[in-house]
Amino acid sequence: RDPRDYDAWIDFAKLEESAGDRDRIRDVYERAVAEHPTTAEKDVWRRYIYIWLFYALYEETQARDVDRARQVYGAALDLIPHERFTFGKLWHQYAWFELRQGNVDKARRALGQALGRCPKNSLFRAYINLELELREFDRVRTLYTKHIEFNPANCATWVEFARFESALGEEPRARAVYELAVEQPTLDMPEILWKAFIDFELELGHTDRVRSLYERLLKLTDHVKVWISRAQFELDTQGQEAARSVFEEGDGRLRDVGRKEERLALLEAWRSMESDGGDIESVERRMPTRVRRRRVLDDGSMEEYFDYVFPDDTQGSRFKLLAKAHMWKQTQHSE
């Protein structure tokens, strides 16, 4: 059997734990952790580190030997090649172990050391959660600030920071966080950030701020969901005529950039709104015709696809003229 089959070692240790012989349990764990990985691959090390985690948990929760559990954590942390990678779960579990013993400073020192050696998102979140548990809100702010400095493109962190401030009743602080966030040159998920910002102002009843945010956002994107969301907001706050104006503007913008499928989605949402006592016929006149076309692929083969021809589409008008000419020609032949 492979002496570095770490899953097998874990199963073996759990089997001995069920028997309850402390010396045999420790012997299995010691033999298992002695089989260090011979590769620098993190996936291999991950299974190995799990043995240390189970070992430390056994010492703390079953053997009730706190000093030995601390030694196990220390030995595991000394073994990891931190210059290559680290394991946030190990640092996190060790910090919470110290917190359970009432050693707040040791818990903070552990997570601070982890961030100093190998900063990563999960470690920042673990440290933030620890300070939240302790209700040390100034420390939480400091950690969020450092987390953002480490990864300013991470929208989830910006949103969490703003929601933290909002939960404390610090509306100006929360708004300032959102404003800083949307000004970042690079964001991994900007749609989540903008939605959170809009929802924040909406929950506070600041309709003018919400409208301003939609206007700013629509200068950055023509995504159909944003147009529909803006129209729904106007419908809820100002009525059908205001929503109709947004749909009209969105239809024109999507037409100009040639996004046919998104334009169709917008028109369908518009038609749905007008179906409730509105001018549905005006929307129906804008709806496209679905046509089958063929195109040449890179390898020279032909592919059929469906296209949408809108009444105000130049190509669509040409298509209709050709169709009428074809019908006239057929009529002439039949005569």
Above 60 in pLDDT, residue 330? no
State pLDDT tens for residues 278-298: 899 999 999 999 999 999 898
User: What pLDDT is attached to residue 326?
Assistant: 52
Tell me how far apart the alpha carbons of residues 68 and 88 are, in angstroms, rounded to a whole number.
21
Global pTM reads 0.81
Instruction: For residue 159, report the phi and psi dihedrals to the nearest 5 degrees.
Output: -65, -45
Pick from 118-127, 148-157, 314-323: least confident = 314-323
Residues 6 or more apart whose CB falls under 8 angstroms from that of 335 comprise none
Enumerate the β-bridge partners of residue 293.
305
Residues 30-43 have a mean pLDDT of 91
Tell me how far apart the alpha carbons of residues 313 and 101 are, in angstroms, rounded to a whole number.
72
State pLDDT tens for residues 51-73: 999 999 999 999 999 999 999 99
Spatial contact of 3 and 35, defined as CB atoms under 8 Å apart: yes
Above 70 in pLDDT, residue 332? no
Spatial contact of 132 and 99, defined as CB atoms under 8 Å apart: no
